[in-house]
Amino acid sequence: MNSASDPPPKDKEPTIAPFPIVGVGASAGGLEAFSKLLGALPIDTGMAFVLVQHLEPSHKSHLTELLSRATAMPVREVGERMRIEPNHVYVIPPNAELGLAERVLHLVPRSVHSGPHLTIDAFFQALAGSEGRLAIGVVLSGTGSDGSQGIRAIKNAYGLTFAQDEGSAQYPSMPRNAVTTGAVDYVLPPAQIAAELARISHHRYLVLPSGKSDDESLPDGEAGLNQILSLLLRATGVDFRHYKQTTFRRRIGRRMLVHRSEDLRDYLAYVGEHPDEVQELYKDLLINVTSFFRDPEAFAALENKVSAIVKNEDIKSSFRVWAPACSTGEELYSLAISVLDVFERDGIRPTVQFFGTDISDRALQVARGGMYTEHSLQNVSAQRLSRHFRKVDGKYQINKGIRESCIFARHDVTRDTPFSHLDLISCRNMLIYLEPVLQKSLMPIFHYALNPSRLLFLGSAETIGSATDLFIPVDSTHKIFSRKPGPSRLIQAFANGRQAGEPWAQVQIETSIGNLELEKLVDRVIQTRYALDCVVIDQNLEIRQFRGHTGFYLEPPAGRATHHLLRMARTGLEYALRETTSRAQQQNQFIERRGIRIEHAGAERIIDL
C-alpha cells in the first residue's frame, strides 16, 4: 500500500508488439482514393494507417468525418503526442505537418516559405526514420511530386512502397512522379493496394516473433545466401560478400515480401523461374540516399579547406575531384559548385575535372542528365539555384557548363583500377554499408589516388579507422582529412601484378575477367605511356571508356542517347576522327594528326589527335 505522502503510481503504457505503419499520401482527388482504399481493407490487418492530404490551412477539415463512413476502423484526427495503435486510421489536421518518434505522432507547424509544402514527403521521411522495415508508403491521386522523395526514403529504410495506377487516379501526376523514382514496388488501383496490404500483413518479414530481435527474423541459411551472392556476382560482376550482411539480408527479406516468398527456399525457386529478379535485387542493394549539399555545414568547412589550399599552395593547371559511389549525381554536382565558387572568389582559373563513379547504371543515367526535383534542392541557396540551374518542365537542370566538367562512369571502387593525381575525394555514406575488411582496404586506394596533402571528405558517421599512417584529420567535426606524404601501399600491389578486377581486400573469387583484362592492359598503356585525355573505342566506334577530361572534344548530341564516337565529336573533329580511326584499323599502326581546328564554347581551338 502507498502512504499518503507517496506519489501516485504512474500508468504504464501497454506493451504492444511492433506492427507496420502505413503512410498514405494524396492531394487532389484524394478523398475518393482514400475512401476506396479504406473501404476494401479488412479491419484486422494489425496495421495502422496515417492519411496525409494537402488541406486548405485556414479551413476546418471534414476529412475525418467523411472517411469514417468508409471503414469500421476508428478514424481520428491527429492531436499532439497521439500514440499510434494497430487497426486505427489517423488523419492529418489542417495547417500542420506530422512527425513520428517511438510510435507517437507529433504536430509540426507548417513553415512559412514561398515554395510548395511537401507535407507527404516530410511524414514519409519521418516514418522511414522511425520504423525502418515496418514502414509502408502509399502515394495516391494528386498533382505535383510530393511523396516522391519520401517513397525513396521508405524503400531505402527497407520498407514497402505503393503508388496508385494512372488509370484509376483522378490526378495522376503525383503517383506518376513517385513511380519515376524507381522506388515503387507495386502500381495498383486503391482496392488492389488494400488487398495486397491485407496479404502481406501476416508475412514473416513484417511480423516479428515474440522474444526475437529484428535480425533474428531475417532470412538466414548460409547455403542459400551464398547461392544468392554467386548469382549476383555472375549477373552483375559485383561481389557483395563484404557488404554489411544485415543490410544484405534485409534487402533479401524485402524482395521475399514483394514476391510472397515465405522462406529463402521459396525465394530461390522464384529467382530460378524469373532470372530478372537478380537485377531487381541488385537495384535494391544499391542504396540511393543522397541530396544536394547534404550537411551544409560540412560543405562550408570543405570550401574553407579548398580555399586554404588555393591560398597557401601553387595550384597546378588542373584541379581534379572524385566522388566514388556518386549515386544520382547530387554529391558530385554539389562539389563542383563549391569548388568553382571558391576558385572564382579567390581569383584563380585552373582546369577543373570532376569524376563521379558508381556501380548503378540507372543512377549514372540520372546523374548525366542532371535533372532534379525542387525538393532535392532544398539545401541549395537561392543565389546558387539561379546561377547554376535552369528550370525545365517543372524540374531543375544543372547548367551545361558544370555538366560538361563532370564525367560519370561505371566503376567499382573496391575492385577496379583507381583514379590518380586527385586533389579531393568525397566518399560519404558508403563506408557504413561495408564490412570492416572492405572499409580498411579502401584507405590505401584513396591514399594512392590523392596528391600529397590533398583532401579526403567522409560522411558524418564514417572514419579512416586504423589508417592514421595515411591520413591526418584537418577538421574532425566535419570528417575532412589530409593525405600524409609517403609511398602508397598500392604500389606493391601493382608491382606484384595484381589482376584487374581482383578485390583490393585480396579476397579471391571465381569470375570471368575477360573484360577486366582489357581494362588492365588499357590502364597500363595509358598510365605509363600517354596520360592524355582519351577514349577507348571498340571496332564499331562505340565508346567503352572515358579517360581524362574529354569535354573539349566530345559532347552528347541532341536526341537519342549515344556513345558513338563520331556522333559525339564536336564541330571540326568528326572528319579527322573518321579518317584516323579507319586508317588505324586498316593499317594496325599509330596514326597522328596535328593542327586540327575545332569549336568549343564559341571559340576555336587547335588540337592534336
pLDDT of 196 reads: 95
Give me the helix-helix angle, 264-273 and 245-258, nearest 10°.
70
Distance, CA of 433 to CA of 243 (rounded, Å): 6
Compare 507 and 551 and report the one with higher pLDDT. Answer: 551
User: Closest Cα to residue 140, out of 192, 179, 190?
Assistant: 190
pLDDT above 90 for 476 = yes
Residue 530 has pLDDT above 70, yes or no: no
The reported pLDDT for the residue numbered 522 is: 61
Region of 541 please: left (phi>0), alpha (psi -120 to 50) or beta. Answer: left
**How many whole angstroms separate alpha carbon 201 and alpha carbon 187?**
18
Tell which residue, 162, 152, 160, 151, has the closest CA to residue 133: 160
Q: What is the mean pLDDT of residues 415-433?
A: 87
- Which pLDDT score, from 0 to 100, does residue 290 have? 79
Find the mean pLDDT for residues 549-578.
79
Question: What was the pLDDT predicted at 529?
Answer: 47
Active-site residue flag, 141: no
The three three-digit cell numbers of residue 200, written as one number: 502481406
Q: Which of 141, 145, 146, 488 is catalytic?
A: 146
- Higher-confidence residue of 219 and 430: namely 430
pLDDT score recorded for residue 497: 44
List, as one string, the DSSP characters of 410-422.
E--TTTSPPP-SE
Read off the pTM.
0.72
45 pLDDT above the threshold of 80: yes
Cell 525538393 -> residue: 375
> What's residue 388's pLDDT?
94
pLDDT in tens, 353-385: 899 999 888 888 889 999 988 778 888 999 999
Give the pLDDT confidence score for residue 500 in this predicted structure: 45
Q: Are 87 and 47 a contacting pair, CB within 8 Å?
A: yes
114 is catalytic: no
Q: Name the pLDDT band for 505 (thresholds 50, 70, 90).
A: very low
Q: How many CB atoms lie within 10 A of CB 30?
A: 25
Looking at residue 603, its pLDDT comes to 66
**Among 210-214, 371-375, 477-481, which is the least confidently predicted range?**
210-214
Comparing C-alpha atoms, which of 285, 288, 213, 208 is closest to residue 254?
285
pLDDT at 134 over 70: yes
- The answer, yes or no, to whether residue 504 has pLDDT greater than 90, is no
How much is the average pLDDT of 584-597?
79
Could you give the 3-state DSSP secondary structure of residue 192? helix
pLDDT of residue 466 exceeding 70:
yes
Looking at residue 494, its pLDDT comes to 45
Mean pLDDT of 129-149: 92
Residues in the chain, how many? 609
pLDDT score for 513: 36
Rounded CA-CA distance 545/565 in Å is: 11
In percent, the amount of the chain with pLDDT more than 90 equals 41
Active site residue 411: no
Q: What is the mean pLDDT of the chain?
A: 83
Nearest one of 443, 446, 450 to 422, comparing CA atoms? 450
The whole-number pLDDT of residue 39 equals 95
Q: Which residue has the higher pLDDT, 314 or 211?
A: 314
pLDDT at 323 over 90: yes
Range 254-269 average pLDDT: 90
Query: pLDDT tens, 16-35?
Result: 678 999 999 999 999 999 99
What are the backbone angles phi and psi of residue 199, rounded to the nearest 5°? -65, -45
Q: Give the pLDDT confidence score for residue 526 in this predicted structure.
A: 52
CA distance 226 to 215: 18
Amino acid at 204: R
- Listed in sequence order, the residues at least 6 apart from 261 whose beta carbon sits closer than 8 Å to its beta carbon are 255, 267, 270
pLDDT score, position 493: 46
Instruction: From residue 357, give the alpha-carbon distance in Å to each of 18, 215, 312, 546, 605.
Output: 39, 32, 30, 12, 29
Give the model's pLDDT for residue 492: 47
